[in-house]
């Protein structure tokens, strides 16, 4: 049995002088409250405050980082108990699944998943031996027993984790019942929603036409007309704002934007609504909608998040069996400088517009994103995202964007996760890496120690709060 | 009040052994004369040697690095006193502008601008407190008063800065009056021009047709014919060479080259000259002209600099109000391996051709540029450019190109600036970073200490002199 | 005269703690046998075990890394004695060529070639002074004399180098006579072939049509029909497997794959076989063939290596004079996420498929390759290739892929060389860099010391053996 690695100086550079400064900066921010302005936790948890289930349900089934690695080494999703869409059988015994996971825990060194998991095992559950085949069942039983205790209920964990605010993400058609329930319990300041209208904007989805019809039903607008559709969206935005939303989110395949005439919009809208549109028309519609939604943000002040560049569901046969979000989304090359031009031509200099750009294509950090955010007042850069939400990824982000965009055109950290228990671990990695980056600037006499201290505070707390209008 | 950061070991790695070697290498090159073979200073300064104006005029109005950052944080160009094309009002009080700049100086830590400015404030003016809201007016008055003294005249600064040679950049139609005046004062060896024919080559410019007509007037050639146009260009090159030019410069959107038949050239030329050409035809014409100009370089020995890949004037409404070079040029993805093929097919193995390639797209360093320059005898690599003219950018350049292209296929440093007072600061950064890179190679036993010393000298002085034929 | 640099701590980071751990890890793997599962040595050497020729023949003429650098600095290939295709004259005196090389040895610091060459000079020949103009002839005579001794015969070197297994690479039409001869001498376990069918798959080659006809003659299949052609390929795969092959190799310009119907395949095949196909048809045929060959790998278990992204023979006039592999292959931007989709749709989840992906475009490491290999069970990542087979290149590889793909989706090191004597030097660089990378993870508390030790062993030996089915 080997101990869990969780050294207090983890992720700091080895050089004593730099490590000392990193450590000091980190000490000054480690206990700051967590602002989690973008993520995918389930509002149900916070609304009804029920205990979580067993270890397997909590740590394996929802974590596509974990099962994509296992799958890449020949373990099937059936063996991991992932439910099949087509009704085929999957492993039902959570213990067997946990044992399989433990048997392959040796695959994870060097990945952020290993660091997040170890942090949770040790800091949340107090475990001290590293997970392995031999202690798998002890782990399983212990965690599962702990999860049944009151102190592991979602709201108790929220307090324990010092989470000041968490934003969930809901589709345009969501009733926001759980958020409503949260509000009714007098807890409304801490869990907010985010408006993600992809389901009624992305005409390549199987359910797009149905969704737009539902949008009409919900809002009482005639969503078969372009104007009615826009009015319905405005109405939903208002409804989301009433449930705390300060931001929207857009997960498009590309960052394409467009600026068509009203007549062109009307015609394109009927085409995509006919259910018989081409891929190019669907892309153009998404592009036009980003511009429309930016216009609505100018009106209502909602912060716009753009998350482009993922080739969703790359593994066709896996998708047919298991559906979305099963670890087979692959990043693509993504252009911003041409793609965003139509939107920026129209709204780029608006005072009341805040767009946060994300990318899965790190080549654009220094080439496109930092120059764009270092010029346009409406643009800021989201943190290193998804595959790049990792120590190396975060370092590359800072090294590549800072010299052109500075720190104040970035927005702090997003955990962007559905793995609630890992949230403190994720923010901790971000704070450590930012302090490490700042410490290097200090020892190389590129920023002053007092500036680094100020910036550590900004990167850990203030920038997120300001960028998302959570002040 | 905080002191200006300007530690003697700035930008060196923290490790004592490496820092020691970096420091030693740096000591051996820090006082070498500055060769500035490519930049945008105003020849007027050196011709008439008049004092500069106030601090705001010198440090803010012409520095798009500075005002792009301020603009990105919501300060308008009007507030910064940038003159509007359309006659709209801009702030006229240089003190107010300076105060605004000082109030936002906290935006710059981690950017090269901060390091350049601090170096100038301290090393050129002897200031010791960091610029902030409180000392803004003291700074303004002090700098403005100093600028009026004889020791701050351009030629005095040129001596103080130990600039051995500086090249300016002029359009093909320039009369080179100021360079002529410099020559007449017996000072001709130190300020030379560079031939930049974009104004008569880039048919996408509003003034292209007029410019080609002017080219005809100036040279007495019939520039309505392809042959006359080429003859006129040859004549201008000769005229520029008489004013010291050893190099040409080409700022095209892409690195595309072409090799058309004479008949095709003639037909394309009349098309672009008609003022009614498509974007594709304009691109093809620029592409063909790079090859034509390479052919002229084979004839007359002028070194050819290619600076592709900037999306100029990305912010449409800003461009309409304020025009070019206002901090809204954004880098684009740039291909070289296919783009340069036609030119290289024709002239790639010519003994008498020297082409220096630059890029804003760092992904091509290791993938395209180092392999191209590590093979073709006519190709060399310019230093990290513009957004990448920074400590991190320079390190990425060396780390990515050296293993394939070595050091001798690179050409030393270019400051490429119009900010005359920052020239020593910029060369200083380059020398520090190169010494740092070499020191790392030494401590990792990858190059010998005596090799590093030789290379430091080459990178700081000799390579630039040789590559630009300034020997 | 200066000593050769070959410090026992070369390539390790300077920090004492990290260096200590790197050194210890390295000590544990430095003497492991070499597995060389992909390369281009000549099977003749091992079959007939004759002495090599002189120093120039061995070190300069076949090493395009060396002469591309010399060529880039104005030395002609004629001066280097490279044989011209067109019968033109080249330098014939190996001493003159060696002297020229020595005179320009100063061009190489910072390149892997310098480190490989110095390692061979010192470790294989026992030389201690660095090569320079003055000692050039001593070097030449000494090396040439040594090469004539029995201990420098290929098989003796194979033992001395501790090479457990080496794979050569042969075209589909190769008779494998030398491998047959090796087998007959009872030495069959150590030198195996690899099936590289580019000559009968790439219809852009001048000799494609002839090659397919020869394929028919050799196999007795009717290679004018699609089915006969496929049957012939299957037969050749079987023949290669009988000569030890466990893998195939595919050097396509892009990673494009396709999945056409049989009728489309038949029609495309007759088109390319007509010798009158377009570039697009040739690309589609290569794309379809990757998928066909993957299908054959599913059947026969051969590991598939894909090496895409080189623009071969970029220098047209050099190609006409000197032919292929003369240092003028230039990497291109390469897409995998879209390109591989058709193949992966068809075979991506097959249990019996192993594809090793290589790239010359490092931008895909974190963006495409690590996510693909971190999901698809059939995909693994080959090591940093060609221009990136270097200390910096290897570090970029590990830093960019590990967090998403881990270590077990990589396959250890390939030397990929025809420079037999440099093989230990190349594996030594890889082992040092991997140990360095692991040591950094250890000192930053990201992996445990015992994990690092296990991983060092995997990266140096086991992963290669497993990935190529050499167990």
Query: Mutate which of A2, A6, A10, A14 to disrupt the C interface (most C C-beta within 10 Å)?
Result: A14
pLDDT of residue B184 exceeding 90, the answer is no
pLDDT of B87 reads 86
Cβ distance of A344 and B314 shorter than 8 Å: yes
State mean pLDDT over B217-244. 98
pLDDT of residue B190 exceeding 70, the answer is yes
Cβ distance of A68 and C379 shorter than 8 Å: no
Domains and CATH numbers, chain B: 16-49+151-467 (3.20.20.140), 51-150 (1.10.2020.10)
Query: Mutate which of C75, C103, C314, C316 to disrupt the B interface (most B C-beta within 10 Å)?
Result: C314
Going by pLDDT thresholds of 50, 70 and 90, the confidence category of residue B1 is confident
Interface list for B 363-422 with C (CB within 8 A): 363, 366-368, 370-377, 379, 399-400, 402-409
State mean pLDDT over B386-402. 98
pLDDT of A188 reads 62
Interface list for A 157-186 with B (CB within 8 A): none
Whether the CB-CB separation of C353 and C378 falls below 8 Å is answered with: yes
User: Quick one: which H or E segment has residue B440?
Assistant: helix B423-443
Cβ distance of A441 and B109 shorter than 8 Å: yes
Could you tell me which residues come within 8 angstroms of residue B175 by beta carbon, excluding any fewer than 6 positions away? none
pLDDT of C186 reads 77
CB-closest option in A10, A69, A388 to C445: A10
Separation in Å, CA of C105 to nearest CA in chain A = 34
- Determine the residue of chain A that is closest to C340 in CA distance: A314
Longest dimension (CA), chain B: 69
Q: What tens digit of pLDDT does each residue of B27-41 get?
A: 999 999 999 999 999
Cβ distance of C10 and B445 shorter than 8 Å: yes
pLDDT of A85 reads 86
pLDDT of C54 reads 96
Residues in chain A closer than 8 A to B13 (CB atoms): 444
Residue A452 CA to residue A441 CA, distance in Å, equals 8
Cβ distance of C337 and A316 shorter than 8 Å: no
Query: Mutate which of B13, B345, B359, B366 to disrupt the C interface (most C C-beta within 10 Å)?
Result: B366
Cβ distance of B110 and A407 shorter than 8 Å: yes
User: Quick one: which H or E segment has residue A48?
Assistant: helix A43-48
pLDDT of A184 reads 82
In order, the DSSP letters of C80-146 are TTPPPTT-------HHHHHHHHHHTGGG-TTSHHHHHHHHIIIIIT---BPP-TTTHHHHHHHHHHH
- Determine the residue of chain B that is closest to A443 in CA distance: B14
- Number of inter-chain CB pairs under 8 A, A vs C: 130
β-bridge mates for residue A165, sequence order: A35
Strands (E), A79-230: 163-167, 170-171, 191-192, 195-196
Cβ distance of C112 and B400 shorter than 8 Å: no
A325 in C contact zone (CB under 8 Å): no
Cβ distance of B345 and C317 shorter than 8 Å: yes
Separation in Å, CA of B403 to nearest CA in chain A = 21
ipTM: 0.97
Cβ distance of B403 and C9 shorter than 8 Å: no
Interface list for A 64-103 with C (CB within 8 A): 68-69, 71-74
pLDDT of A189 reads 66
CB-closest option in A107, A109, A360 to C367: A360
Whether the CB-CB separation of B218 and B173 falls below 8 Å is answered with: yes
pLDDT of B357 reads 98
**3-class DSSP string for B156-219:** HHHHHCCEEEEECCEECCCCCHHHHHHHHCCCCCCEECCEECHHHHCCCCCCHHHHHHHHHHHH
Q: What tens digit of pLDDT does each residue of B399-452 get?
A: 999 999 999 999 999 999 999 999 999 999 999 999 999 999 999 999 999 999
- Each of the 471 residues of chain A gets a pLDDT tens digit; together they read 899 999 999 999 999 999 999 999 999 999 999 999 999 999 999 999 999 999 999 999 989 999 999 999 999 999 999 999 888 899 999 999 999 999 999 999 999 999 999 999 999 999 999 999 999 999 999 999 999 999 999 999 999 999 999 999 999 999 999 999 998 877 766 899 999 999 999 999 999 999 999 999 999 999 999 999 999 999 999 999 999 999 999 999 999 999 999 999 999 999 999 999 999 999 999 999 999 999 999 999 999 999 999 999 999 999 999 988 888 999 999 999 999 999 999 999 998 999 999 999 999 999 999 999 999 999 999 999 999 999 999 999 999 999 999 999 999 999 999 999 999 999 999 999 999 999 999 999 999 999 999 999 999 999 999 999 998
pLDDT of A471 reads 81
Q: A463: closest CA among A409, A420, A385?
A: A409
Interface list for B 411-470 with C (CB within 8 A): 440-441, 443-448, 450-451, 454-455
CB-closest option in C375, C402, C443 to A328: C375
CB-closest option in C9, C69, C362 to B445: C9
Residues in chain B closer than 8 A to A401 (CB atoms): none
Interface list for A 124-163 with C (CB within 8 A): 130
Query: Mutate which of A19, A363, A403, A439 to disrupt the B interface (most B C-beta within 10 Å)?
Result: A403
Cβ distance of A403 and B328 shorter than 8 Å: no
Q: Which of B104-118, B315-329, B396-410, C406-420 has the lowest mean pLDDT?
A: B315-329
Residues in chain A closer than 8 A to B130 (CB atoms): 448
Cβ distance of A330 and C371 shorter than 8 Å: yes
Taking CA atoms, C311 is separated from B169, C345, C429, in Å, by 35, 27, 27
Task: Name chain B's partners: 3 or more CB pairs within 8 A.
Answer: A, C
β-bridge mates for residue A247, sequence order: A303
CB-closest option in B5, B314, B392 to A399: B392
Residue C13 CA to residue C26 CA, distance in Å, equals 13
Query: Mutate which of A362, A364, A367, A376 to disrupt the B interface (most B C-beta within 10 Å)?
Result: A367
pLDDT of B308 reads 98
Residues in chain C closer than 8 A to B409 (CB atoms): 72-73
Separation in Å, CA of C147 to nearest CA in chain B = 27
Instruction: Give the rounded distance of the alpha carbon of A235 from its chain centre.
Output: 25
A352 in B contact zone (CB under 8 Å): no
Could you tell me which residues come within 8 angstroms of residue A448 by beta carbon, excluding any fewer than 6 positions away? A442, B2, B5, B109, B130
Provide the phi-psi class of C376: left if phi over 0, else alpha when psi is between -120 and 50, else beta. Answer: beta
Query: Mutate which of B330, B358, B360, B428 to disrupt the A interface (most A C-beta within 10 Å)?
Result: B330
Residue C30 CA to residue C253 CA, distance in Å, equals 35
- Each of the 471 residues of chain C gets a pLDDT tens digit; together they read 899 999 999 999 999 999 999 999 999 999 999 999 999 999 999 999 999 999 999 999 989 999 999 999 999 999 999 999 888 899 999 999 999 999 999 999 999 999 999 999 999 999 999 999 999 999 999 999 999 999 999 999 999 999 999 999 999 999 999 999 998 877 766 899 999 999 999 999 999 999 999 999 999 999 999 999 999 999 999 999 999 999 999 999 999 999 999 999 999 999 999 999 999 999 999 999 999 999 999 999 999 999 999 999 999 999 999 988 888 999 999 999 999 999 999 999 998 999 999 999 999 999 999 999 999 999 999 999 999 999 999 999 999 999 999 999 999 999 999 999 999 999 999 999 999 999 999 999 999 999 999 999 999 999 999 999 998
Task: Name chain A's partners: 3 or more CB pairs within 8 A.
Answer: B, C
C7 in A contact zone (CB under 8 Å): no
Could you tell me which residues come within 8 angstroms of residue C421 by beta carbon, excluding any fewer than 6 positions away? C58, C59, C120, C124, C157
The secondary structure of chain B in percent helix, strand, coil, rounded to multiples of 5, reads 50, 5, 40
Q: Where are the alpha helices (DSSP H) in A243-278?
A: 262-273
Residue C303 CA to residue C298 CA, distance in Å, equals 9
CB-closest option in A111, A314, A315 to C406: A111
Cβ distance of C314 and B404 shorter than 8 Å: no
Whether the CB-CB separation of C402 and C360 falls below 8 Å is answered with: no
Half-sphere exposure of C291 (CA within 13 A, CB side): 23
In order, the DSSP letters of C228-279 are HHHHHHHHHHHHHHHTT--EEEE--SS-------HHHHHHHHHHHHTT---H
In order, the DSSP letters of A295-318 are HHHHHH--EEEE---EETT--HHH
Cβ distance of C11 and B445 shorter than 8 Å: yes
Residue C158 CA to residue C191 CA, distance in Å, equals 10
Query: Mutate which of A110, A309, A358 to disrupt the C interface (most C C-beta within 10 Å)?
Result: A110
Residue A288: count other Cβ atoms within 10 Å of its Cβ: 22
Q: A25: closest CA among A414, A466, A446, A442?
A: A442
pLDDT of B188 reads 61
Residues in chain A closer than 8 A to B18 (CB atoms): none
A285 in C contact zone (CB under 8 Å): no
Residue A322: count other Cβ atoms within 10 Å of its Cβ: 23
Taking CA atoms, B439 is separated from B13, B384, C335, in Å, by 9, 19, 36
Whether the CB-CB separation of C378 and C348 falls below 8 Å is answered with: yes
A354 in B contact zone (CB under 8 Å): no
């Amino acid at each position: 049995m080997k101990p869990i690695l969780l050294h207090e100086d983890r992720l700091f550079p080895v050089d004593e002088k730099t490590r000392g400064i990193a450590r000091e900066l980190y000490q000054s921010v480690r206990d700051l409250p967590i602002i989690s302005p973008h993520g995918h936790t389930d509002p149900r948890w916070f609304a009804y405050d029920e205990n979580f289930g067993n270890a397997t349900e909590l740590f394996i089934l929802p974590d596509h980082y974990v099962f994509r690695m296992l799958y890449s080494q020949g373990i099937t999703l059936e063996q991991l108990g992932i439910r099949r869409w087509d009704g085929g059988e999957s492993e039902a015994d959570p213990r067997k699944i946990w044992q399989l996971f433990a048997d392959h825990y040796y695959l994870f060194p060097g990945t952020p998943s290993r660091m997040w998991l170890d942090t949770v095992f040790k800091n949340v559950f107090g475990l001290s031996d590293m997970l392995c085949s031999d202690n798998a069942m002890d782990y399983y039983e212990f965690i599962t027993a702990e999860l049944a205790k009151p102190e592991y209920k979602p709201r108790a964990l929220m307090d324990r984790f010092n989470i000041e605010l968490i934003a969930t993400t809901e589709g345009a058609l969501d009733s926001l019942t759980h958020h409503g329930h949260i509000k009714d319990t007098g807890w409304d300041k801490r869990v907010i929603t985010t408006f993600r209208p992809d389901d009624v904007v992305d005409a390549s989805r199987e359910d797009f036409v149905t969704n737009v019809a539902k949008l009409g039903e919900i809002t009482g607008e005639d969503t078969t007309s372009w104007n009615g559709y826009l009015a319905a969206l405005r109405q939903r935005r208002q409804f989301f704002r009433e449930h705390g939303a300060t931001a929207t989110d857009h997960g498009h395949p590309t960052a394409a934007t467009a600026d068509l005439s009203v007549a062109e919009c009307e015609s394109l809208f009927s085409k995509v609504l006919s259910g018989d549109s081409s891929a190019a028309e669907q892309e153009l519609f998404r592009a036009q909608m980003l511009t429309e939604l930016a216009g609505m943000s100018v009106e209502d002040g909602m912060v716009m998040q753009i998350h482009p560049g993922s080739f969703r569901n790359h593994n066709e046969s896996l998708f047919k069996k298991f559906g979305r979000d099963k670890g087979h989304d692959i990043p693509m090359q993504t252009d911003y400088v041409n793609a965003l031009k139509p939107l920026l031509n129209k709204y780029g200099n608006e005072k009341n517009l805040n767009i946060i750009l994300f990318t899965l294509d790190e080549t654009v950090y220094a080439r496109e994103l930092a120059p764009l955010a270092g010029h346009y007042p409406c643009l800021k850069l989201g943190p290193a995202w998804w595959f790049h939400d990792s120590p190396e990824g975060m370092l590359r982000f800072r090294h590549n964007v800072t010299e052109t965009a500075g720190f104040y055109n970035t927005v702090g950290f997003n955990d962007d996760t559905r793995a609630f228990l890992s949230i403190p671990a994720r923010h901790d990695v971000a704070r450590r890496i930012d302090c490490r980056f700042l410490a290097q600037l200090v020892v190389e006499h590129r920023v002053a120690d007092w500036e680094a201290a100020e910036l550590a505070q900004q990167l850990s707390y203030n920038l997120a709060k300001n960028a998302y209008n959570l002040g």
